[in-house]
Amino acid sequence: MTDVLGMILAGGRVDELLTLTEKRPKAAVPIFGIYRFIDFVLTNMMISEIDNVGVLSQYRPYSLMRHIGTGEHWDFIGRKRGVRILPPYKGIKESDWYKGTADAVYQNISYIEEFNPKYVLVAAADHIYQMDYRLLYRYHIEKDADVTVCFTMVREKTPWFGYGIIDKEGHLLGYQEKPKEPPSNWVSMTVYLFKSDLLKEILKENAGQDSHEFGRDVIPGLIGKTRIYGYKFKDLWAYARTIEMYYTTNMEYLKKRGILRRWILRTNLVEGCENQDRIPTRVLGDVSNSVIGNGCVIYGTVRNSILSPGVFVEKNAIVENSIIFHNTIIQRNAHLESVICDKNVNVGESCSIGTFGAEVPSREFSELLKSGITVLGKGVEVPEGTKIGANTVVYSTAKIIDKEIPPGSTLR
Amino acid sequence: MKKEIIAMLLAGGVGSRLGILAKKRAKPAIPFGGIYRIIDFTMSNIANSDIDVVGVLTQYKPLSLMEHIDNGRPWDLFGRTRLVEILPPKTGEEISDWYKGTSDAVYQNLGFIEDFSPELVLIVSGDHIYYMNYKELIFYHKNKNADATICLIKVPFEQAGNFGIACVNQDDKIIDWEEKPKMPRSNLASMGIYLFNKEVLKEMLIDSAKRGGVDFARDIIPLMLGKKRVFGYEFSGYWRDVGTIDAYWSANMDLLNPESGLNIEKWGIKTNLSVKGEIGDWPPIYIGRNAEVKNSLISQGCEIEGTVVNSVLSPGVKVEKRALVRDSVIFHGTIIRRDSVIERAIIDKDVEIGEKVLIRKQKTGADLTTGITVIGKGTKIPSQAVANKSLNKNLFIL
């Protein structure tokens, strides 16, 4: 697909992931042990043979930049292939932070013009799916569409998404962003294929307005005015808008591993060369129904959990139903139940985390955190013998002093 | 580009005693410890000793080795003044031939050495498992004002006949040298690591070549004795020549024993994880609901539903339900189907072991073999096959 340029929307922070997006954009949040959110869309672009991709990134892009590196892990390296991070910049006229997804693409029109593609594929970096965009491309050409928006069917009509009304011929008849009463079961995957000239035109028009989001502003405005179509994607798709959805999506991986193992999925494991220094995983304890990254050392018990590379579980420690990011250490006799633990956390001896008070919702995030999950931010030190109740969030800046943290707390 | 020291890594070995493991690859390229290859130990030692120019002398089936070394980046041997160069045999105006031996290989690449005008040249081989900081060797060499220093290690007298053996005086100067002696007078064995003053090396190589010499141990060292200051540097850490199936298997098992002295992590051993995208393309490890894993090394992409005990698994190994793998070394992408039992085996890449296959520990024979079963790359073992006859030799299945 040499006439398609990929643009990935990877700037978002997403407050609903609490401390996981404290220091990184959502696109760079680890998932399924060794991956990051952006791997799905990057891999999709790779298998669709899109040669050039721009990544629009604004919020703390450093970890994302490191992860993408030269792009070689997704084969985006070569004389005519490349992936570029496109941060906000200062120009003579235009100079500003990205004011929204549409504005981010608008500010990089010159990047698009460099390649002069016939089509531009705009896709968000935080959806989990495997898709060959060439099918979308063929559909788009077949329908002689100006714009094609991808949709996937949901059973539960939650208000998080943009909903589309698609007729039998595929015309997109209506689109509502985050409606109170969704008009259909088809939600937008934030994957849009545009005719390049049209995209430039509508972005210029949008730039004059006050709000600059594809979903909220651009797409609804196109309905009835252009040849806009909906493409129904029918394979496995997942999304993790909130911390609880993030947890469930990870845990689903343990169940749907079969499907996911058939996916082609690429990631950068040699980031900063740190993986070159990791030994294979050493299992001496008891592990069952778990996904483990390389370089882990497990003396204790790990059940129904997902461990990223380099996690150390000491003797008699128990990790259950938890998601543990890179290089975290769980010391002797510690017990973790339904914990999401960011990188480089040190859980001291005999700590007990998330093991009590699952019925007490978070006081600060009562809607987001009520199902008994505990979240520890990057680099948190949990002193020996500390007890932390469920539905607690510990931000990376917090110092834990108390021996017992009641359930539903927030520490900053 | 001027360098104080460069390394020449001998990686041409056929490894014939490793049988089918070395059938399709050079010995240094044989996988080890799950994700590593044997050559990683020497490459990492070089890099960790801040030696940043390496010539790798290859000859036998170099392809997998070349892919593995790539541009040297995994060992940080990549940059404007840091490099790894693969030096295969070549034809030139005067010299043109296959490498006839270890010293001949270096002799044919004197031009490469001269490019860097080094004072010292470190000659190492790519088929040993050990950790050494060559800086200490360099310090010793300079201190002794030596022309050449040979690394020596004490071996049991009964094994000394397999090595080059040195006799040293009180000052550690080598006064006599025997290559694979029947009646060894010393048990100080050569580790195949030599540090030379470049000028002396050049002189000796040219001199020896004139006389038809091609091998460091057989020709160069004896030629130097009496004429040059040759010293022995005694090394006492973990060092294994994994040239036989038994030694190779035991060294892998040493990885599982913290007392063995083999500690990849502490040694800072690096490898190339990106060959053909190998590591990044595997999903993470999955250990199933009824799986049992005891004292084992498991690499990325492994899927374990059965039992794995005291074993080393390379990436992408699948162990199905109720299958048992014990005391074994399994290479990349091999599948062990349900209800099979694998004990004391070394199984090469992409092997498929059918259901209910029995590969049991072979009875140890009088010829000191440990009864290991070796299965060659890509072999398919049909269901219900049995390999547990009392054999006196290691069993090879091709």
Q: Domain check: are A307 and A338 in the same one? A: yes
Residue A296 pLDDT exceeds 80: yes
Range of the domain at A77: 4-262
Most confident of A14-18, B275-279, B343-347: B343-347
Cα dihedral across residues A219, A224, A229, A230: positive or negative: positive
- For the sheet with B386-387, list strands across it: B292-294, B307-309, B324-326, B341-343, B358-359, B386-387
pLDDT at A185: 95
Please name the residues in contact with A284: beta carbons below 8 A apart, sequence gap of 6 or more.
Answer: A297, A298, A299, B294, B295
In this predicted structure, what is the pLDDT of residue B390? 40
Provide, rounded to the nearest whole percent, the portion of chain A with pLDDT above 90: 79
Number of domains in chain B: 2
Residues A18 and A155 in one domain: yes
- Do residues A345 and A212 both lie within one domain? no
**Residue B293 domain-assigned (yes or no):** yes
**Residue A183 maps to which CATH number?**
3.90.550.10
Buried/exposed B254-263: b ≥16 CB within 10 Å, e otherwise: bbbeeeeebe
Q: Which of A229, A262, A295 is the last residue of a domain?
A: A262
Which CATH number goes with the domain that contains B303? 2.160.10.10
Counting one residue from A and one from B, how many pairs have CB atoms under 8 Å apart? 103
- Is there a contact between B299 and A280 if contact means CB atoms under 8 Å apart? yes
- Does one domain contain both A314 and A395? yes
Q: Are residues A289 and A400 located together in one domain of the fold?
A: yes
Report yes or no on A272 lying in a domain.
no
**pLDDT (0 to 100) of residue B391:** 40
If asked whether residues A79 and A125 sit together in one domain, one would say yes
pLDDT for residue B364 is more than 90: no
Residues 6 or more apart in contact with residue A117 via CB below 8 angstroms: A3, A4, A5, A52, A196
**Residues B369 and B258 both lie in one domain:** no
Spatial contact of A335 and A317, defined as CB atoms under 8 Å apart = yes
Residues 242-271 of chain A whose Cβ lies under 8 A from any Cβ of chain B: 257, 260-261, 264-270
C-alpha pair distances (Å), A230 with each of A130, A151, A236, B351: 18, 7, 18, 46
Window from A106-120, B13-27, B249-263 with minimum mean pLDDT: B13-27
* Band (B398; pLDDT cuts 50, 70, 90): low
Asked which of B267, B302, B327 is the last residue of a domain, the reply is: B267
Residue B234 structural domain: 5-267
Domain-located, residue B279: no
Min mean pLDDT across A58-67, A396-405, B304-313 is at: A58-67
pLDDT at B97 exceeding the cut of 80? no
Q: A293: which chain B residues are within 8 Å (Cβ-Cβ)?
A: 284-285, 300
> Pick from A166, A168, A140: which is nearest to A153 by CA?
A166
Q: In this complex, is the C-beta atom of A297 within 8 Å of any C-beta atom belonging to chain B?
A: no
Q: What is the CATH number of the domain that holds B132?
A: 3.90.550.10
Q: Looking at the structure, tell me whether residues B263 and B299 fall in a common domain.
A: no
In a domain, B272, yes or no: no
Total number of domains in chain A: 2
How far does B285 lie from chain A, in Å, by closest CA?
A: 5
Report which of B314, B293, B286, B302 is spatially closest to residue A298, judged by C-alpha positions. Answer: B293
B261 lies in the same domain as B291: no
The answer to whether position A268 is within a domain reads no
Q: Is residue A95 part of a domain?
A: yes
In this structure, of A142-146, A266-270, B17-21, the range with the lowest mean pLDDT score is B17-21
Whether residue B194 sits in one domain with residue B253: yes
Q: Are A310 and A295 in contact (CB under 8 A)?
A: yes
Q: Do B130 and B207 belong to one domain?
A: yes
Residue B185's pLDDT band, with cuts at 50, 70 and 90, is very high
Q: Is the pLDDT of residue B387 over 80?
A: no
Nearest C-alpha in B relative to A304: B289
pLDDT beyond 90 at B90:
no
Report pLDDT for A276. 60
* Exposed / middle / buried, residue B179 (Cβ in 10 Å: 0-12, 13-18, 19+): middle
Chain A: residue nearest B73 by CA?
Answer: A273
Does residue B303 share a domain with residue B246?
no
Cβ atoms of A234 and A153 within 8 Å: the answer is yes
Task: Tell whether B232 and B367 lie within a shared domain.
Answer: no
Instruction: Return the DSSP state at B363.
Output: P
Cβ atoms of residues A283 and A266 within 8 Å:
no
Helix, strand or coil, per DSSP, at residue B370: coil
Rounded CA separation A29/A36 (Å): 5
Q: Is residue B192, in this structure, part of any structural domain at all?
A: yes
Q: What percent of chain B has pLDDT over 90?
A: 70
Q: Output the pLDDT for position A159.
A: 83
Confirm whether A410 is domain-assigned.
Answer: no
Question: If you average pLDDT over residues B6-33, what whole number do you get?
Answer: 84
> Which residues, including other chains, have CB under 8 Å from residue B203's CB and lie 6 or more apart?
none
Q: Is residue A233 part of a domain?
A: yes
If pLDDT is split at 50, 70 and 90, which confidence band does B366 have? Answer: very low
Both B231 and B307 in one domain: the answer is no
Cβ–Cβ < 8 Å for B249, B135? no
User: What's the CA gap between A373 and B37, in Å, rounded?
Assistant: 42
Asked if the structure places residue A195 within a domain, the reply is yes
Q: Which of A262, A295, A315 is the last residue of a domain?
A: A262
In this prediction, residue B367 carries a pLDDT of 42
Q: In terms of domains, do A167 and A197 share one?
A: yes
pLDDT band at A274 (very low <50, low <70, confident <90, very high): low
Q: Does B179 show up as a binding residue in the annotation?
A: yes
Residues 269-328 of B with CB under 8 A from A: 270-274, 277, 279-281, 283-291, 293-300, 303, 312-313
Tell me the H-state helices in A62-132: 62-68, 101-106, 109-115
Give the CA angle between residues B317, B319, B320 to the nearest 5°: 140
**Residues B134 and B167 grouped into a single domain:** yes
Average pLDDT, chain B: 89
CB distance from A398 to chain B under 8 Å?
no
Cα-based distances in Å from A182 to A36, A45, A156, A161, A217: 30, 30, 10, 9, 17
- DSSP string over B142-209: HHTT-SEEEEEEE--GGGGGGSEEEEE-TT-BEEEEEES-SS-S--EEEEEEEEEEHHHHHHHHHHHH
Dmax over Cα atoms in chain B, in whole Å?
A: 68
Q: What is the mean pLDDT of residues B385-397?
A: 56
Structural domain ending residue among the three candidates B218, B234, B267: B267
Query: Which tens digits make up the pLDDT trace of A223-263?
Result: 999 999 999 999 999 999 899 999 999 999 898 887 777 88
pLDDT at A61: 79
Q: Are residues A24 and A155 in the same domain?
A: yes
The DSSP output letter for A61 is T
Tokens of B305: 């539903």
- Tens of pLDDT along A148-199? 999 999 998 988 899 999 999 999 999 999 999 999 999 999 999 999 999 9
B355 C-beta neighbours (distance < 10 Å), count: 16
Q: Is residue A344 part of a domain?
A: yes
Of B274, B281, B300, the CB nearest to A270: B274
| Higher local confidence (pLDDT), B17 or B142 | B142
Length of chain A measured in residues? 412
- Residue B199, chain A, CB below 8 Å: the answer is no
Same-domain check for residues A224 and A313: no
- The answer to whether residue A269 sits within a structural domain is no
Residues A257 and A284 in one domain: no
Residues B303, B241 share a domain: no
Give the tens place of pLDDT for each residue, B23-82.
778 889 999 999 999 999 999 999 999 999 999 998 877 888 899 999 998 899 998 899
**Among all residues of chain A, which has the CA nearest to that of B283?**
A261
Same domain as A307, residue A397: yes
Q: Do residues A244 and A209 both lie within one domain?
A: yes
CA distances from A140 to A8, A144, A149, A171, B111 (A): 19, 6, 10, 11, 61
Question: CATH number of the domain that A373 lies in?
Answer: 2.160.10.10
For residue B45, being part of any structural domain is answered with yes
Q: Give the whole-angstrom CA distance, residue B40 versus residue B46.
A: 10
Average pLDDT, chain A: 92
Which pLDDT band holds residue B393 (cuts at 50, 70, 90)?
very low
Is B281 contained in some domain? no
Per DSSP, the three-state class of B31 is strand
pLDDT of residue A2: 87
Measure CB to CB from residue B270 to each of A73, A276, A288 and give the nearest one: A276
Q: Is the per-residue pLDDT at B280 higher than 80?
A: no
pLDDT higher than threshold 60 for residue B123: yes
Question: Does some domain include residue B334?
Answer: yes
Task: Please report whether residue B275 resides in a domain.
Answer: no
Closest by Cα among A116, A90, A118, A94 to A106: A94
Is the CB of residue B257 less than 8 Å away from at least one CB of chain A? no
Pairing, β B239-241 against β B128-130? antiparallel
